[in-house]
Structure 1
Amino acid sequence: MIIRSLGVAVPLAGSLVVGGAAPAPADVAPGESRAAGLDGELGRDLDAALKDRRLKGAKAGVVVRDARSGSVLYDRDGGGRLMPASNNKLPTSAAAFGILGTDYRFRTTVSTGGGNLYLKGTGDTTMRAADYGRLAAAVAEKGVKEVKGDLVADDTWFDADRVPDGWEPDDLQYAYAARTSALTVSPNADFDAGSIEVRVAASRPGRRVKAGLHPATGTVKIDNRATTGPRGSSPTLAVKRRNGSGTIRITGRFPAGAPKARVLRTVERPTLYAGDVFRRALKAHGVRVAGETRRGRTPADAETLATRTSMPLSRLAKPFMKLSNNVMAETLVKAIGRKVAGEGSWAAGLPAVTAHAGRLGADTSQITMTDGSGLARSNRVTPRFLSTLLGNAREQAWFDAWYASLPVAGKPGKLTGGTLAKRMRGTAAEGNVHAKTGTLTGVTALSGYVRGRDGRLLVFSTVFNGYAGSAPKDIEDKIAVRLAGVRGS
């Protein structure tokens, strides 16, 4: 063969109670706490943990609720509006489950029409080079040998805005701040979509290092200025990409005999990156494209040749939440926007996420979302909001899948313990605490679930802002471990 935009109403601000949840105490003054219904010393123990000198001058909010009744058991500055870091992924993921559904899948299709070949994406962050290879093989099996026209990369399922408001320009070369597109490539099994792996190996001392890209692509260039240093010398390797550039510069020295280095850097044009990876796969399967690779829109009458669907959201949520994948968060926000308003944008998706939290009984006056992941420092939320969301999510049909996506304290494995794999080992919290972490400079958060010694399930949210020095995650752990030891009053 030869080929020649439904609106969502936002609830009124205020405390909406569902599932028997009690309103948070409104009379707790800043710096004071309220404890009720707990064992006699717990309130004092939590207060003592929060008097740590590293929190002097910081803002610290902690709320503990009984998961079954929703009643507030402990509240210290729980109404303070704080930067949540990746705890922002809690409302984002809850909305994804509630609006898109546990069986939601992203779809990538290859179609033909008008002499062109069309590659259309809907935001699948799990697409790797091998997946594009399988699509190419399916095209070849259809008898396609040559494409007379162009290879058109269609990313129009989402808008062309790649970076949310509030992201720091200095972050944009790193994989945690990759650009969002409906058509992209992940270089690894962690699904760091929109990034590419730079591989550096030593050669002989004094000579240029060996450098390559994975997956191979012509949309990213390497400017290799690094040299191989003497065996045993200290490495000074630097791998950088300037914003707006498609070139990655490698400088410094890399010692002879050192293991190969692998560094992730973002790509400037994720859509064309995907198109180029697919084009190379087509060539490998005997399909020649005569024209160029460009962005465009798939005609409505195009004939579908091959389709690839992602794992369902119920499975995708594990790498998303346990590894705290920012690009997945932003992609889900746009997918939500596409579903509720016919527009794959942050402007459409973020209000829908907030509205969904309101339907779960959380007070939407207590949250401001400028992205879905929490990387922006302009996000604000209260621990009371997060604890209400966590408590009332238990009433939802999708709760089991959501709960399973949370990192588990002290349990090894990326897709089990996740970001909590090395924390709280050997304590009553190990294997017990299921919670979302959050980290930015001067920000740390931990919110989730823990079962006390008396068998009671507790919901907790701990958010610290503005502390000096390294993140006091040990204080978060101390609080969670203490909650794991709760006994009835």
Structure 2
Amino acid sequence: MRGFIAVCAALTMVVTLGPASAVSGAGGDPALTAALDQVFADARLAGAATSVDVRDATTGAALYERAVNDRLIPGSNQKVLTSIAALEVLGPDHRFRTDVLTRGGNLYLRGGGDPTVLAADLDALAAAVARSGVRVVGGDLVADDSWFDDVPLGSDWAWDDEPYSYAAPVSALSLAPDTDYDAGAVIVESRPGRRAGAPAVVTMVPPNHYVRVVNRAVTGAAGSAATLTAVRRHGTNTVVVTGSVPAGTAEPGQDYLSVEDPAVYAASVFRDALARHGVRVRGRTVTGVTPGGARTVATDRSMTLRQMLVPFLKLSNNMHAEVLVKTMGRLRSGQGSWPAGLAVADGAVAALGVRTDVIRSAEGSGLSRRDWLTTRQLSTALLAARSRPWFPDWYAALPIAGQPDRLVGGTLRSRMTGTPAAGNVHAKTGTLTGVNALSGYVTDAGGRRLVFSMIVNTALVSATPVLDAAAVTLAGAGGAAPVAARARSAAEPGGDLECSWVKAC
């Protein structure tokens, strides 16, 4: 989402639905309208497209409206619809599975879409294979990711995001490096050498023989600037590390990078685990499809979707969203693809009252600039969610303003601290270059539950402080006359990306 091209793309995506929407809505709360109008008069929004919908969560009545029917790029607010659809279609107790099977001398590692597989899980599968009595695999180790189609990247994902973990290829068989569960990613860690001028020490998490590291980084003098960067070369699994890491640095630097083929990456780590448990594979590591009649040797089952909601929504995990979309398609229509999954997801949210004929979803995470939502349809989804049996788990999984624990506050952990919104606002964030969004729930000072959705496109600077000020204003409303909260000048950590994607929050 960096650079001039991405910003220009965003400038073309504002489409007005039907008659022109009012600049500010004459909702059902004149005092609140006046306060919010003052917030949204901020000069940072000059020339930008701003859409806001605030509704009473109990009655659904509109309290504040501003261009609520304008289609805008939502960023990660797309995950509101994706997560709701997944809960409706798959259910909160859905689990993914990864199987190890054997037939014809080959051993098959077959993925079922699980984005939470860790190296420890593959090790446990390898141990189970050894316990089954298998000691030598005469044929190949086959990575089977055929549960999904072979389209790895979402529509309109930017080329310059491709090397990074938040834009990793989507695969039915993948591996995450840690409990952020960034599927299809590897962590490149860097430490200083023994003395200034020596090569930096570069390692990978998890250790593997699939990703190749070219280490050109050096150890700088103590107190010097840290300039080390790691970039994966396009179309390869070669990572080039350059720059300098200061001598005496205690904590390792970490770069989260995508891998080119997540299925083979997972199989490579699994092969190493088999060797540790005394299982020798004589053949190659290849990709393929498990034949009918193969015998299951071991199975790993993931956490439930209910549990996965926490890293998914708190950390705005793109790969989780895309896996859920393809899984919905696979289970409902037999096609693990974006078109099939999005059709199922649209049907699920339409049944809750969302008008899918006036919005467009190109994928599930919001990384694409072909996702176009309206705040009115987002607020409709938020209202409908409150009546669903899974709502308590989903509500708890949303980021919570000003809560410092990363798996509580999530992408809102450093925002709205010390305000009436802290610990009160539960909302999904959305950040791309030229896109800022915030949609969720808040209880005002009078005890009234509110639903809100706010999207800003094409602002030349981050609009996050303005959206935070609006949320704080909502939290303070309902008692005395509402007072417009003052927008801070500092932008959120992460800049033009969701802060969790760059591990800045």
- TM-score after normalising by structure 1: 0.92
Task: Tell me by how many angstroms 1:236 deviates.
Answer: 2.1
The residue that corresponds to 2:376 in the other structure is 384
Aligned counterparts of 2:324 and 2:405: Cα–Cα separation in 1: 24
Match of 1:421 among 391, 410, 413: 413
Deviates more, 1:86-95 or 1:355-364: 355-364
1:265 paired with 2:257, answer yes
Match of 2:486 in 1: none
Which residue matches 2:342?
A: 350
Query: In the alignment, residue 412 of structure 2 is paired with which amino acid?
Result: L
Give the residue type in structure 2 aligned to 1:321. L
- Cα distance per residue 1:141-182 (max 9 Å; x no partner): 111111111111110100111101100000001111111101
Match of 1:90 in 2: 80
Please give the secondary structure, in 2, of the residue aligned with 1:35: coil
**Cα distance in 2, alignment partners of residues 51 and 360 from structure 1:** 34
- Following superposition, the deviation at residue 254 of structure 1 comes to 2.0
Query: Distance in 1 between the 2:328 and 2:425 partners?
Result: 29
What is the rounded CA distance, in whole Å, between the counterparts of 1:366 and 1:343 in structure 2? 25
Note the C-alpha offset of 1:52: 0.3
Give the corresponding residue for 2:120: 130
The aligned residue for residue 192 of structure 1 is 182
1:78 has 2:68 as partner: yes
Deviates more, 1:380-389 or 1:364-373: 364-373
Deviation at 1:333, TM superposition (A): 0.6
1:239 correspondence with 2:230? yes
Task: Quote the Cα distance in structure 2 between the aligned partners of 1:405 and 1:347.
Answer: 27
Q: Which residue of 1 aligns with 2:439?
A: 447
Q: What is the aligned counterpart of 1:223 among 205, 214, 234?
A: 214
Per-residue Cα deviation, 1:343-383 (whole angstroms, up to 9, x for no partner): 11101111222222211101112311111100111211110
The one-letter amino acid paired with 1:467 is A
For 2:237 and 2:425, the matched residues in 1 are separated by 43
Contact 1:28 1:75 in 2 (8 A): no
Corresponding position: 1:178 with 2:168: yes
Mapped contact 2:229–2:255 kept (Cα < 8 A)? no
Matched, 1:147 2:137: yes
Q: Structure 1 counterpart of 2:201, which letter? A: K
Tell me the number of residue pairs that the alignment of Structure 1 and Structure 2 aligns: 462
Question: Deviations along 1:311-336, whole A, 9 cap, x unmatched?
Answer: 10011011000100001111111101
SS of the residue 2:408 aligns to: coil
d(CA) in 1 for partners of 2:247, 2:477: 55
* Displacement of 1:27: 7.3
CA distance in 2 between partners of 1:28 and 1:435 (Å): 28
Runs of 4+ with deviation above 4 angstroms:
25-28
Residue 487 (structure 2) pairs with residue 487 (structure 1): no
Give the Cα separation in 2 of the matches to 1:439 and 1:433: 17
Shift of 1:26: 8.2
Q: Which amino acid is the alignment partner of residue 111 of structure 2?
A: G
Offset, 1:397: 1.8
Q: Secondary structure at the match of 1:403?
A: helix
Secondary structure of residue in 2 paired with 1:222: strand
SS in 1 for 2:350: helix
Alignment partners' CA distance in 2, 1:153 and 1:178: 18
Q: Which residue matches 1:8?
A: none
Which of 131-140 and 350-359 deviates more?
A: 350-359
**Does the residue aligned with 2:407 lie in a helix, a strand or coil?**
coil
Distance 2:127 2:328 in 1: 31
SS across alignment from 2:467: helix
Match of 1:120 in 2: 110
Q: Residue in 2 aligned with 1:3?
A: none
1:309 counterpart letter in structure 2: R
The 8 Å contact of residues 126 and 310 in structure 1, kept in 2 or not, is answered as yes
Taking the aligned partners of 1:29 and 1:332, their CA distance within structure 2 comes to 34
Conserved? CA contact 2:325–2:364, under 8 Å = yes
Q: Give the Cα–Cα distance (whole angstroms) in 2 for the partners of residues 45 and 145 of structure 1.
A: 71
RMSD of aligned residue pairs (Cα, Å): 1.5
Give the counterpart of 2:288 among 285, 291, 296. Answer: 296
Q: 1:464 maps to which residue?
A: 456
Counterpart residue number, 1:42: 32
Contact 2:21/2:68 (CA < 8 Å) preserved in 1?
A: no
* Distance apart, 1:28 and its partner CA: 7.1
Counterpart pick for 1:249 among 220, 227, 240: 240
Give the deviation of 1:453 after TM superposition: 2.0
Question: For residues 209 and 58 of structure 1, what CA distance do their matches in structure 2 show?
Answer: 45
Structure 1 CA distance for aligned equivalents of residues 358 and 413 of structure 2: 30
In the alignment, which of 385, 398, 414 is matched to residue 393 of structure 1? Answer: 385
Maintained 8 Å contact 2:69/2:376: yes
Greater mean alpha carbon deviation, residues 394-403 or residues 102-111: 394-403
SS of the residue aligned with 2:378? helix
CA contact (8 A) 2:188 2:255 kept: yes
TM-score by length of 2: 0.89
Residue in structure 1 matched with residue 49 of structure 2 by the alignment: 59
Give the C-alpha shift of residue 235 in structure 1: 2.3
Q: Which residue of 2 aligns with 1:332?
A: 324
Note the C-alpha offset of 1:195: 0.7
Q: Which residue pairs with 2:304 in the alignment?
A: 312
For the residues of structure 2 that align with 1:49 and 1:351, how far apart are their CA atoms? 38
CA contact (8 A) 2:21 2:69 kept: no
| Counterpart-to-counterpart distance in 2, 1:52 and 1:336 | 41
Name the CA distance, whole Å, in 2 between partners of 1:424 and 1:235.
30
Question: Between the two proteins, what is the percent identity of the paired residues?
Answer: 48
CA distance in 2, matches of 1:90, 1:45: 27
- What are the superposed Cα offsets for residues 443-479 of structure 1, whole Å, 9 maximum, x if unpaired? 100000111222221100010111112x121211111
State the match for 1:476 in structure 2.
467
Give the alignment partner of residue 213 of structure 1, picking from 201, 204, 208. Answer: 204
- Distance in 2 of aligned mates of 1:107 and 1:68: 39
Q: Distance in 2 between matches of 1:457 and 1:28?
A: 29
Moved more, 86-95 or 298-307: 298-307
Kindly provide the CA deviation profile for residues 198-242 of structure 1, in whole angstroms up to 9, marking residues without a partner as x: 111211222221212111222110111122222222122121112
Q: Cα offset for 1:400?
A: 1.7
Equivalent-residue separation in structure 1 for 2:253 and 2:33 (angstroms): 49
Alpha carbons 2:217, 2:243 under 8 Å: kept: yes
Pairwise CA distance, 1:132: 0.4
Find the aligned partners of 1:208 and 1:152 in 2 and give their Cα distance: 37
Partner residue, 1:202: 192
